Structure 1
Amino acid sequence: MIPKEKIDRDGDHRDAVIEGHFPSTSRMFLNFLGCLLAIPVYYFSTVHSRYPVTLDIVITIALTELNRYIVERRRADFARSEQQLAEETRSWNEKEEWSPVHLETQPLSAAPRLECLAAVVGWREDPALYTRALESYKSARTCAFFLAGIDGDEAEDQDMVTVFSQVFPDHSAVIHVPEPLGEVAERIRDKTLAIQRQQGQSINVAEAEAVAMQTCLNLARTILNQHNIQIGTPNGIRQLCLKQRHMHKKGIMFTAYVFSLIIADILGIEFMWSSDSDTIVFPDSLEQTINSIASDPKAGGASSGLVVHNSRETAVTSLASAVYWGELYLTRSTPACTGTSDCQSGPSTAFRLAALPAILVPWYLQVAFGKRMIVNEDRHLTTNLLLRGWNVIFASDTLAATDTPTTMARWLKQQVRWARATHIESLLRPKVYILSHPLLFYGMVKREFGPAIGAFAVMWYFFTSHMFITISVMDFVYRIMISSAYNFLRNPHRLTQKDLVWTVPGVFFYYIPLPAVQIYSMLTMAADGWGTSMRASGDMERAKRESRRKAWFELGFFVVWMSIVAGVIAKALTSYYGFVWHERMAATLVAMGAAGFAAWKITIGAQ
């Protein structure tokens, strides 16, 4: 265990660093001007460009390469610092006057810092998949402690506990948390605010959140002591499973993160890896992600790229895999080169633990539209880091493997959930753009308004038969050719011939529904839930009995949208070939009916 005086000294150092993160007034003014400039830049690069889609992919690829160069430079800086530390340690050993007192005077930051704690959360995961996920951490480098969080304590949740005990039979323990720590934090915060009002004090929300956080930390330490959990000793616990009453993903994440802070404090660990119960890590996933931020005290978090480990399961998973390694790999890189990645993906995220205590309570208690939000856990964590001046890195050349939905219905539900979180964080937190590089704002404009403009253009042509924006077929052809060539040559996920077959279909699979997903998710931003159904066998049968009304509410937008898209294509083709009006009308109606039925069949009808 680290001596208390060293922890205190390091804590003071971290507080000083946190305060120094915020940009100066002049810098914030320049950021504001940059945001204003980003709007006309985006407008002229799209509306007044002959090949806007091609130009966009060229810019995106350039920023992706720049981000990879910067990440490699960060790793090189860390390697140099490690080498320098090794040389200094060797010189100490060569001195006759060396003593433990000499080592004690060295700053804590000189200690090796790359070890991390891994926190993995889930809810009624498929046992076979959960087993594969946990097994992968046995070979993960730099993982010094493993913490599993299970969102449920009923009989049906015991399968995950059993898997944990089978994968980690030695040096492991299971703890039932009597009350979710998120509820404890909420109660203590409200009580502290009430006391402030009763005593006539000025309301200090930050102080109330700090009190709530400290109470949760004390409670977590007490629970570990009550269960006689020995950590950091030769025969101590190295894997711990926490289970609590079922709430939601945010609830179990909060509890797991609080326990992680206590355990990391005991072990002297500076970083935490956070992931989901369906994610499989590679031996270098944790190490390569963490060493991209290890040498930068201003870096509060990082995330790796993602590939799909069940890509051969269905046609939908094959298409989704092409989206992950192609489209998402590129789009996530847009603002990342400036240290302002706007989403640390839930399955593959690393945090500097010093950044978490100040943000966990406000993150957990987030309110939007007068309602507690539980669907945007990863994006809101990232936003809180950026609002407090931390850099957030995207280590795009490092990979972890996640599970993707196997049906079109579940894929669309996942995309809608992600889009809701994106809207909430992008549109309701404007302060983050003043504190961050203007490229973050540019990426937001492109992501939020690009699909919306596309949806408007399609609807405009459908109702008026006039084009809102000029569309060039060759523009899309060039774009697909350039992105495919780049991914084949430079994507960190080495592609096979089978992967290449899905490249072009994957582009249409992602971008055709995207405008509808964008608009529908904007209209339903306050909806909540885990976003995907539980995958344990008994619960799968229960999920199949979902009502038709609910299915239409969740997926009806896709049926309507595909009908409109088919109608637009039919109108354009019949107009090009000179059909008379009644022939154009008949072709449009037939196309809309066929497309609508097909969309219904693969989504609502399939359930």
Structure 2
Amino acid sequence: MISPKEKNDDFREPVIQGHPPSTSRLLLNLLGCLLSIPIYYFSTVHSRYPVTLDIVITIALTELNRYIVEGRRQDFARSQQIQSHGRHSFDEKEEWSSLHLETQPSAPSAECMAAVVGWREDPSLYARALESYKSARTCTFFLAGIDGDEKEDQDMVNVFCQVFPENSAVIQIPEPLGEVAERIRAKAMTLQRQNGLPINEDEANAAAMQACLDLARTILRQHNLTIGGPKSIRHLCLNQRHMHKKGIMFTAYVFALVISDILGIEFLWSSDSDTIVFPDSLEKTINTIASDPKAGGASSGLVVHNSRETAVTSLASAVYWGELYLTRSTPACTGTSDCQSGPSTAFRLSALPAILVPWYMQIAFGKRMIVNEDRHLTTNLLLRGWNVVFASDVLAATDTPTTMARWLRQQVRWARATHIESLLRPKVYLVSHPLLFYGMVKREFGPAIGAFAVTWFFFTGHQLIEISLMDFVFRILISTTYNFVRNTHRLNMGDLKWIIPGVFFYYIPLPAVQIYSMLTMAADGWGTSMRASGDMERAKKESKRKAWFDLGFFVVWMGIVAGVLAKVIVIHWELVWHEKMVCITVSMGVAMWGAWRVTIRAPA
């Protein structure tokens, strides 16, 4: 039996620090990035069916990714068979020494520990999420992180204790480890400065990381917890003072590193408190990277488990099924997936020590970033030469916003994080495959060009880009047919009616979301409704003002879209000038009023 008391106190950061490319590879990546721009330009502007061509390319890359992922699993299965055969041969040859056995390479294993973080989650949903891990294969240790230690946060602790009544423990963290890391890092840099040494952030980060690991080990020892062995705990709940998701993730990951070092576990599954996993979610995601020492992370596909709650969740479920499954696959076939989705992510634990402190301390536009935790973790892995895989044929079930206002806020928040990681970290394209850059160009500038073209037509009546209705029809038919044939998520008959509306639900706001999120990249916060306190009237006014700031762009955009459609109709009907103005004005007014009703006026 191994316990924190019996384990060496010195946690040493693994030697593996990533796999930086050679100089020749850097030059090839740069050349590939430069060629991506004209390729994308000619495939869109100078193509008669650019949208159809884009979906065909995307499907081809998705299939290539599926093929590569399956190859990774076969490599993992072969390594398991070879190791099993080696053990059998060793049993038959007693003359082999135990020393020789220790020198043999160990087979990769898909065993992992899971870390699930959250804040004031709905108790029933949280219970469902925790229960799902009881049947999750290869999960040998479960770690829950709760961002809050007040009376309202006790509900989540109670749920944890009810779901895991045996072999479990709860620890109150006296100080968030992120604050410890920040303080140690600042002290190390101050000492460097006082001693006349150049500032070395890597050394300061390593010192902060080591201090947090030592503190986590000390906390486990103080609580006299046994980890490893027949009577050890297998479920641990951590709660700390409320900060933000990034804060509780940092604490949970540090404890995961210490516990995994004790148990000899190589992988960590990370998820949210509203995500439900299936029995094979962890196993099939991790075995895509288990046999590849260059793979630092992976993520699975997602479905929506509350799809029948409202019309918005049904539409969102159709978006996850028909759009996100494909778009996330574009760069993934080269091991450069640029976003490990927070609800369904796996890490090689040896990749984490070098990136956790830089990730936690991220600064953009002169301020600390707390809302792009999943994308920035992925960026840090890619920058250090790790491959990141997308297992598109594996699923986990996540929660989605139930109202249009919350859905748009979520989309804007995700888009801001995407812009920060895509546009402010150009070095990642130099060290990664050019397909990552191509995917970024398509994702970042495609919707922006669309927004500009629509606005241009609205004000001038001239088409900047020739648009073919049949192009969109072909695109919808091809993508829908492909998803029916190949998407792992099989739709029920009742879901079919949401497919076409889901396309419009996603793509009509997309250009506006893209432009507005670019213009407000420096805005922080989660975009949720404020908690009224003090003067209720003042709080109500501030809340309304915030709603206009968060969602006013959508009201304006829907007016422009309606104006464009009205302009196309009046041109086709050849109406006179005053009839044109009445038709356009009425259309814009009705559209803006409807957008206001479902976003700003509606409860958030």
TM-score (normalised: structure 2): 0.96
Map of 1:127 onto structure 2: 123
Displacement of 1:581 in angstroms is 1.3
Q: CA RMSD in A?
A: 2.1
- Deviations along 1:263-307, one digit per CA (max 9) or x if unpaired, are 000000000000000000000000000000000000000000000
Displacement of 1:18 in angstroms is 3.2
Map of 1:316 onto structure 2: 312
- Deviations along 1:355-396, one digit per CA (max 9) or x if unpaired, are 000000000000000000011000000000000000000000
> SS of the counterpart of 1:351?
strand
User: Structure 1 residue 51 and structure 2 residue 49: aligned?
Assistant: yes
Amino acid at match of 1:338: T
TM alignment of 1:414-493, pairs within 5 A: 414-493=410-489
Say if 1:124 and 1:534, in contact at 8 Å, map to a contact too.
Answer: no
Percent identity of paired positions between Structure 1 and Structure 2: 79
> SS of the counterpart of 1:203?
coil
Say if 1:125 and 1:534, in contact at 8 Å, map to a contact too.
Answer: no
- Equivalences, count: 595
Map of 1:189 onto structure 2: 185
Amino acid at match of 1:67: N
Say if 1:306 and 1:399, in contact at 8 Å, map to a contact too.
Answer: yes
Amino acid at match of 2:252: A
Map of 1:539 onto structure 2: none
Amino acid at match of 1:490: R
User: Structure 1 residue 500 and structure 2 residue 496: aligned?
Assistant: yes
Map of 2:511 onto structure 1: 515
Q: Distance in 1 between matches of 2:227 and 2:108?
A: 19
Q: Distance in 1 between matches of 2:392 and 2:198?
A: 45
Q: Distance in 1 between matches of 2:299 and 2:27?
A: 29
Say if 2:146 and 2:156, in contact at 8 Å, map to a contact too.
Answer: yes
Map of 1:18 onto structure 2: 17
Q: Distance in 2 between matches of 1:449 and 1:96?
A: 65
Displacement of 1:103 in angstroms is 3.1
Displacement of 1:101 in angstroms is 4.2
TM alignment of 1:360-371, pairs within 5 A: 360-371=356-367
Displacement of 1:458 in angstroms is 0.8
Say if 1:18 and 1:298, in contact at 8 Å, map to a contact too.
Answer: no
Q: Distance in 1 between matches of 2:107 and 2:22?
A: 31
- Deviations along 1:525-576, one digit per CA (max 9) or x if unpaired, are 12222455699xxxxxxx9997211111111111111011001100011111
After TM superposition, where is structure 1 displaced by more than 4 Å over at least 4 residues in a row?
1-4, 98-102, 531-535, 543-546
Map of 1:358 onto structure 2: 354
Displacement of 1:106 in angstroms is 2.9
User: Structure 1 residue 583 and structure 2 residue 579: aligned?
Assistant: yes
Taking a change above 3 Å as real, the CA distance of residues 91 and 532 of structure 1, as seen in their structure-2 partners, is farther
Amino acid at match of 1:48: H
Say if 2:66 and 2:393, in contact at 8 Å, map to a contact too.
Answer: yes
- Deviations along 1:42-71, one digit per CA (max 9) or x if unpaired, are 001000000000000000000000000000
Say if 1:375 and 1:531, in contact at 8 Å, map to a contact too.
Answer: no
> SS of the counterpart of 2:600?
coil
Q: Distance in 1 between matches of 2:516 and 2:339?
A: 21
TM alignment of 1:519-530, pairs within 5 A: 519-530=515-526
Displacement of 1:79 in angstroms is 0.1
Map of 1:157 onto structure 2: 153
Q: Distance in 1 between matches of 2:529 and 2:103?
A: 54
Amino acid at match of 1:18: Q
Say if 2:267 and 2:349, in contact at 8 Å, map to a contact too.
Answer: yes
User: Structure 1 residue 281 and structure 2 residue 277: aligned?
Assistant: yes
Q: Distance in 1 between matches of 2:61 and 2:313?
A: 28
Say if 1:413 and 1:531, in contact at 8 Å, map to a contact too.
Answer: yes
Give the gaps of 5 or more residues in structure 2: 532-538
> SS of the counterpart of 1:223?
helix
Map of 1:343 onto structure 2: 339
Map of 1:548 onto structure 2: 544
> SS of the counterpart of 2:237?
strand
Taking a change above 3 Å as real, the CA distance of residues 470 and 191 of structure 1, as seen in their structure-2 partners, is same
User: Structure 1 residue 30 and structure 2 residue 53: aligned?
Assistant: no
Q: Distance in 1 between matches of 2:552 and 2:501?
A: 23
Displacement of 1:114 in angstroms is 1.3
- Deviations along 1:63-89, one digit per CA (max 9) or x if unpaired, are 000000000000000000000000001
**Match for residue 303 of structure 1 among 296, 299, 309:** 299
Map of 2:38 onto structure 1: 40
Q: Distance in 1 between matches of 2:286 and 2:162?
A: 28
Displacement of 1:27 in angstroms is 0.8
> SS of the counterpart of 2:343?
coil
Amino acid at match of 1:594: V
**Match for residue 391 of structure 2 among 381, 391, 395:** 395
Say if 2:127 and 2:159, in contact at 8 Å, map to a contact too.
Answer: yes
Displacement of 1:466 in angstroms is 0.6
Amino acid at match of 2:49: Y
TM alignment of 1:167-316, pairs within 5 A: 167-316=163-312
> SS of the counterpart of 1:297?
coil
Give the gaps of 5 or more residues in structure 1: 536-542
Amino acid at match of 1:73: G
Map of 1:409 onto structure 2: 405
- Deviations along 1:328-351, one digit per CA (max 9) or x if unpaired, are 000000000000000000000000
Displacement of 1:409 in angstroms is 0.4
Q: Distance in 1 between matches of 2:95 and 2:529?
A: 64
TM-score (normalised: structure 1): 0.95
Amino acid at match of 1:226: Q
Q: Distance in 2 between matches of 1:428 and 1:526?
A: 12
> SS of the counterpart of 1:202?
coil
Q: Distance in 1 between matches of 2:104 and 2:8?
A: 13
Amino acid at match of 1:55: L
Map of 2:103 onto structure 1: 105
Say if 2:3 and 2:262, in contact at 8 Å, map to a contact too.
Answer: no
Taking a change above 3 Å as real, the CA distance of residues 3 and 178 of structure 1, as seen in their structure-2 partners, is closer
Say if 2:339 and 2:374, in contact at 8 Å, map to a contact too.
Answer: yes
Taking a change above 3 Å as real, the CA distance of residues 34 and 567 of structure 1, as seen in their structure-2 partners, is same
Say if 1:193 and 1:204, in contact at 8 Å, map to a contact too.
Answer: yes
Map of 1:69 onto structure 2: 67
Taking a change above 3 Å as real, the CA distance of residues 184 and 309 of structure 1, as seen in their structure-2 partners, is same
Taking a change above 3 Å as real, the CA distance of residues 534 and 82 of structure 1, as seen in their structure-2 partners, is farther
Amino acid at match of 1:36: L
Taking a change above 3 Å as real, the CA distance of residues 531 and 97 of structure 1, as seen in their structure-2 partners, is farther
